[in-house]
Structure 1
Amino acid sequence: MMMNLLPHPLTPDMLLVDVITEHPGAIDRLTGLNPAFAGLLDQPRRHAMAGQIRLGEAARVAGVSFEALCRVLQGELPTSEIAHLPGTDRPVPMERKTVGDWFVQAERLSAPHLDVRPLLASGQDPFSQVMSMSARVPAGGFMVVDAPFDPAPLRRVLAGKGFTSQGRQVGPTHWRICWRREDPTEAGSVTDEPMPRHGPEPWNAADGTHLDVRGLQPPEPLTRVLDLIDRGEIDRLTLHHDREPVFLYPMLGERGWSCLSVEHLQGEVRIELARDA
């Protein structure tokens, strides 16, 4: 049996850097889950965004449940056993293209596009390049970034600069994020005016079933989503949440559902879920 190396309880909102500062050996354990952690967290070349990664977000980078991440960090679970945990090998959602799709619009407009995967693999910090690129995006314009994981801290930083983002996983270690700089002159801009709270009961719209769990106390948001999915009556769901539901993702995989996209708006995280084909 491996000894618990972390004396304090771990929570999804806890900063990852606080854990590894107290226990540097945790970096090696994290790297066993995803090699990207080595470059992100190595002290001599620590990236600008590394200090803002929360444990719940680190679990998504690692592709494991929050519980499994905690067990690895605490030295209770060897990384070699992760592949045998239920829900670890979730299907990768396919990239969709629909009318009005941001990704299609960005491609049509030849929006700036940066692939940070080679930079991260070589130990470089792409933060300044992303910020430089964002400064050249006009109101209503787009930019696209390819990364080896969903860069949640970067999405939060850019949300504070007037950007709304959509993210899609297009491969096991490949996320594509599309940002749009909101135009303050546009009426009804989602950045300035997120969707009004609808209440905790699901409703149907032209684009399918929606569920608004904002303002509910845990674990009610989680149970409401799972109860709705477990009825077996819907194949797609748009979830309106206060934050990214890190505990929900592994449970979706166990039920044959996937997260197709995540939009970070001001005052709302909008998540597209679908039953796997």
Structure 2
Amino acid sequence: MKISSKTKISALIKENPKAIDAIASINPHFEKLRNPILRKVLASRVTIADAARIGNASVADFFVKLQPLGFEPENDSASIVKMQEPTPEPSTMKPSDLPEKVVKLDVREDLATGNDPFNLIMDALGKLEPNQALLILNTFEPTPLFSIVAKRGFTHYVENSGPGLVHTYLYKTISKTEEKVTEKPAAPAISGLTFPEALEQFEGRLQEVDVRDLEMPLPMMTILETLPKLKENEALFVHHRRVPQYLLPQLSERGFAWSVNEASATEVKLLIYKI
């Protein structure tokens, strides 16, 4: 099979399942690929180039490990040798419009203890001065956050600062006409149903998904990936560890309503259905 930096990880695994072990041997970060749940969610979306960036590796590392399995890089052999040479350090030049004043927010401990840092981030953004940026210290690039803050006039800049450390800057830019970006609040859920009412209404017409043991941001990704598979008049029953604040604005935008049952501090049940 011919491969390139744009080849999806799922295509590699489909062609030869031994690719899982080969990729996992590149970097401890890729050990997560052995988890079938994580693999199902991520492999179809991530290319070799994406994985290399996330795992602080090089595309050449992948090619070298995959070639013994019968995968042939589209580059010629000379190019492959060149790619194995040390990769120059990425440019540390920040965007010219990035504010010099930075407010730091380290969410790594929250993530490690299973707490959702969404409210902390949004509170910090709300307190920023016009000439300040919020610097989030995280273990991964918080992609789901970008579309949410963009609606509030924020742009982002990401630095991969080393294994297990990602710097994400969130800040507002001023247009050439100095017009301020009008913040548009997320649409509220349209639902008058309590959780028992919704459960009764969709009895026998439920799809079920359990995201309690998934690492962030996989719970949100899994739910959003499952919703389009719902049949007409079906609802999605979600077992979660907390009310997913990242997810709710996304549901509203997609025309879904939800009902919540907070069974305990670490157990939340959601019913998500089309409005």
Q: TM-score, normalised by structure 2?
A: 0.41
Q: Which is greater in Rg?
A: 2
Higher RCO (Cα < 8 Å, 6 or more apart)? 1
